[in-house]
Structures are given as C-alpha cells and as structure tokens.
Amino acid sequence: MIHEISPHRFNNQYIHCPAVGEDDLVFHFTGNSLLLKNCGDDFELPRKSDFGVDSEFTEFYFLFSLDDVPCFLVMDDLQANNPECTLKEIQFFRSTGKKELAWAMLAAFHLMNWYMQNKFCGKCGTENKHKPDERALSCPECSATVYPKISPAIIVAIISNSKILLARNANFPGSWYSLVAGYADIGESLEDALIREVKEEVGLDVWNIRYYKSQPWPLSGSMMIGFVAEADEKQPVTIDKIEITDAAWFTRDNLPEHPSTLSIAGEMIEKFRKGEL
C-alpha cells in the first residue's frame, strides 16, 4: 500500500521551527501540483540548495523526516523558472516508480491543505499561530486549538462464498469498481458505520464483520479502516443511482477494472482474487 515504503523511513515526529538546511527537502504546492526536480527521465524532491544559495524562505513549516532528512512545506511564492524544476499534479503519485516520493507528496499534501484551511480561528476570526510544542494551530485571542484533521472511514470487502460485491461510484474514473466505503458519522462505532453504509449504498444486510487493517489516505484526509463481512448473494442489490451507479457480484476470475494495490481497496481485492481473503 502507498504508505508502506520500506526500506525507506518516514518519521512524522514534529520538530518546532528548525532552520531550513541547504540539503533539506522542500515541498511547494501550486493548487494541487507539487514542484519537483527533473532528473533525466524521472523526478525527485528539490532541496533548498536548488533555489540558490541566497534564497531565504519566509513562510515555511516543518513537515516530517524522510530517510532522516528534514522536509519543509514552503508557502513562499516560488517560481518554477529553473529548467530543472516543474510542477506535477498530485495524481503523479500513481505513476512514479519511487514509492517514498509518492507517499511523501501525499502526506505533505494533507498537511498543506490543513494549514491552508486553518489560517484563521474558526471561533473569532483571529489569525492562528503555530503552537511551539506540538503540531497544532492556536488562536492568540481565544486560545482555540486546531489539530490536523483525520476523518475515519470504513471500507469493506463483502463476500458471499466465492464472490465479492463491488460497486461503481459516480466519481470513479473509467470503468472502475471498488469496495463499499464511507465515513463514520457522529455517535457511530465503526461497525455501525459499516452496516449503515452497506445498507445505504447497495441495500444488503451483512454479518460476521471482522477487521482487516487500516491505511491513511491523505488525498481525502482520511484513515481508511478495512473490514471483511459476509452477505447472502441472493439478497437484492439496491443502489441509489446517484452516488453509486452500479453494483454486482464478481468471481475471482472475472473481476472488473479496479484500484491498484497502492490503496487498501486494491490490496483487499487482490487478496480476494488469490483466495487469501
């Protein structure tokens, strides 16, 4: 899955406001695109030294460390006028062969969105300041504190004997099908959310719910919590035709186009295909 980058090392322990070193890695976004450095037929993250020895960043945040190298989000108006640098849309993570780059750009994208969406206090409108002791934004006027938002969402492989239920979301590209998924609501356990989402999206009753594993998914600021559940394929499949445009049972040797194993959905579907789920 996307966050599994061994032997590379990702460390998100927060360090407050260190200076940006010449060899430190720089993340700079323009909209949904990240500034990357051309390296022949591939790309890599730029370092501070790539912007000139006299460059000084005025608005930057420590993100995390990648292979023990500090990484910084730079908000300054950096121009991609260096022929070695170019902007790559965030979906580039799906095609790059560098798994550490793919994961780092997604994690940085999640934090960039959090900073951009919380410049001002939601209670009184005062400009937020970074807390000195942790990754949090605090209002100097009313002391309201905001931490990075992570939304819990269930995702479930629904199985009946040798078949799996896959659904097509209206927003999926091409002819993709995937697992049923949805956000946990206020007051719900994850199991309650799973039962509700399955009923709402495909009209099925499920049982024998068991945990699979979890995956952070920074594109939506989510923590995907994977489950396996059983259902009777004789139940009628009922979709809302708004969010879900189709849903059907598939056998291991007749699976439709589906996500890759970068995602927990793709990994679970692949395990089903191999008879391991």
Render pLDDT for 241-260 as a digit per residue (tens, 0 to 9).
888 999 999 999 999 999 99
Q: Is the pLDDT of residue 82 over 80?
A: no
**Are both 125 and 156 inside the same structural domain?**
no
**Are both 33 and 79 inside the same structural domain?**
yes
Report the 10 Å Cβ neighbour count for 77.
9
Residue where a domain stops, chosen among 117, 138, 172: 117
**Are both 19 and 128 inside the same structural domain?**
no
Residue where a domain stops, chosen among 95, 117, 139: 117
H or E element, residue 267: helix 264-273
What is the DSSP track for 68-118? TEEEEEE-S-----STTEEEEEGGGGGT-S-HHHHHHHHHHHHHHHHHHHT
Inside any domain, residue 245: yes
CATH number at residue 187: 3.90.79.10
**Are both 113 and 51 inside the same structural domain?**
yes
Cα 72-151-62 angle, rounded to 5 deg: 10
Range in 14-18, 132-136, 231-235, 261-265 with the lowest mean pLDDT? 14-18
The tens digit of pLDDT for each residue in 170-197 reads 888 788 999 999 999 999 999 999 999 9
Q: Length of the chain, please?
A: 277
**Are both 139 and 63 inside the same structural domain?**
no
**Are both 55 and 112 inside the same structural domain?**
yes
**Are both 144 and 96 inside the same structural domain?**
no
Inside any domain, residue 62: yes
**Are both 166 and 105 inside the same structural domain?**
no
**Are both 140 and 162 inside the same structural domain?**
no
H or E element, residue 25: strand 25-27
**Are both 141 and 211 inside the same structural domain?**
no
Partner residues linked to 153 by β-bridges: 183, 224
- The pLDDT of residue 111: 97
The tens digit of pLDDT for each residue in 42-79 reads 899 999 988 876 678 888 999 999 999 999 999 988 76
Residue where a domain stops, chosen among 117, 139, 161: 117
Inside any domain, residue 75: yes
- The pLDDT of residue 54: 64
DSSP three-state, residue 254: coil
Q: Does residue 216 have a cis peptide bond before it, meaning omega lies within 30 degrees of 0?
A: no
Residue 182: which domain range?
151-273
Average confidence (pLDDT) over 95-104:
94
Inside any domain, residue 1: no
Name the pLDDT band for 147 (thresholds 50, 70, 90).
very high
Q: Check: CB of residue 27 under 8 Å from CB of residue 112.
A: yes
Please give the share of the chain, as a percent, with pLDDT higher than 90.
82
Total number of domains in the chain: 3
